Structure 1
Amino acid sequence: MLLEKLCDEFPHLEIVLEDMNNSHKGQLIDRTVYLNREQTSTQLACTFLEEAMHDLYTVGDISAQKTTIDRKQEQFARRRAYDYLITFDDLADCYYNGFIAYHEAAEYLNISESFLRSTIAYYKTKYGLVYDTGKYIINIEPTINVFRADKNEYLYNYGC
């Protein structure tokens, strides 16, 4: 299970499941991650990872999101969680195992579909629609498409 793996990777954080009446899926207070128990197991894992990234990268109480600095720290922690959990090699692995739709890939990766879609949206702004890893050329829109990169041949050979 992904949550157990993440707990092993961040052993200094304690998890408490509770009913959260507000819109937060999770919140980090000191070294304790409070998670909304209404989430699925995959959502819990993704939320825990985001809160673990807050532990590593954010400073102070940013839960109110009142200032631009708070919102930037929130986005930074989310982006680190995306980078930490999903790589382009993971997307290529999904493709070569037959999982090209986002909901299929999310299930294969054992993450929530919303987390995968957010990751893809972030990767589109960071890398564009097509990314060359050196080993693969990955197109992430509208589904996951992967092509093996062949450096011996020009990608678009128009017969010139």
Structure 2
Amino acid sequence: MYETLVQEAFDNNVVVEERYMSKRNKGLYGDNVIWINKNLETLVERTCVIAEELYHHYFTIGDITELSVIQNLKQEHFARRRAAKRLVTLEGLVEAYKNYCYSKYEIAEYLRVTEPFLEMSIKYYHEKYGREVRVDDKHVLFLDPLGVFEDIK
């Protein structure tokens, strides 16, 4: 997935560079450049970061690094939610359960995201849909606690 996102960036005239940054910065976006922190240890971490930074490219206006400004915080959360919807779909969560992934660690590994990213995604879906959401005609995804109900008729 990382390579797909790098190609998407390239196709949208965005340069992706890996460079050493402070540990508090996993990635940054500005002026058609995405910087990924070289200190990130796994490709999975890089994938989560580049997904979010791509959505900053698509939707963020101006410098939003000062997160005490409410408008900046809203743009930050918007990019994170879009990345969550892209990498952790409702269907993907159901597929993980159908493939015997029950712990957050197993689900994150199956979906190729970090556990914190998975948790952020689940929290987003919980805020959007409440405790449960029907994913298709056969599956209900419970978000608190996390689980899947398969309606066999």
Give yes or no for TM over 0.5: yes
Task: Specify the code of the residue in structure 1 equivalent to 2:3.
Answer: E
2:134 is the alignment partner of 1:132: yes
Structure 1 consecutive aligned stretches of length 4 or more whose deviation exceeds 3 Å:
none
Q: What residue identity is the alignment partner of 2:29?
A: L
Partner residue of 2:9?
A: 10
Counterpart-to-counterpart distance in 2, 1:34 and 1:86: 22
CA contact (8 A) 2:131 2:142 kept: yes
Deviation at 1:24, TM superposition (A): 1.5
Shift of residue 142, structure 1, vs aligned partner: 3.1
2:72 is paired with a residue whose SS is: helix
Q: Which amino acid letter does the alignment assign opposite residue 88 of structure 2? A: I
Partner of 2:106: 104
**Alignment correspondent of 2:54:** 52
- The answer as to whether partners of 1:132 and 1:149 remain within 8 angstroms in 2 is no
Q: How does 1:22-61 map to 2 (within 5 A)?
A: 23-39=24-40, 40-61=42-63
Q: Is the 8 A contact 2:55 2:79 kept in 1?
A: yes
TM-score, length basis structure 2: 0.90
For residue 22 of structure 1, report the CA deviation from its aligned partner. 5.7
Letter in 1 for 2:32: R
| Structure 1 residue 93: Cα displacement | 0.4
Secondary structure of 1:61's counterpart equals coil
In structure 2, distance between residues paired with 1:72 and 1:134? 30
| Structure 2 unaligned blocks of 5 or more | none
Contact 2:87 2:113 (C-alpha < 8 Å) held by counterparts: no
Deviation at 1:110, TM superposition (A): 1.0
Q: How many residues are aligned here?
A: 149
Paired amino acid for 1:47: V
RMSD: 1.5
Contact 1:134–1:149 (Cα < 8 Å) also in 2: no
Q: Secondary structure at the match of 2:140?
A: strand
Secondary structure at 1:10's aligned position in 2? Answer: helix
Please identify the structure whose Cα radius of gyration is greater: 1
Greater shift in the superposed pair: 86-95 or 14-23: 14-23
Unpaired runs of 5+ residues, structure 1, are 153-160
The aligned amino acid for 1:38 is: N
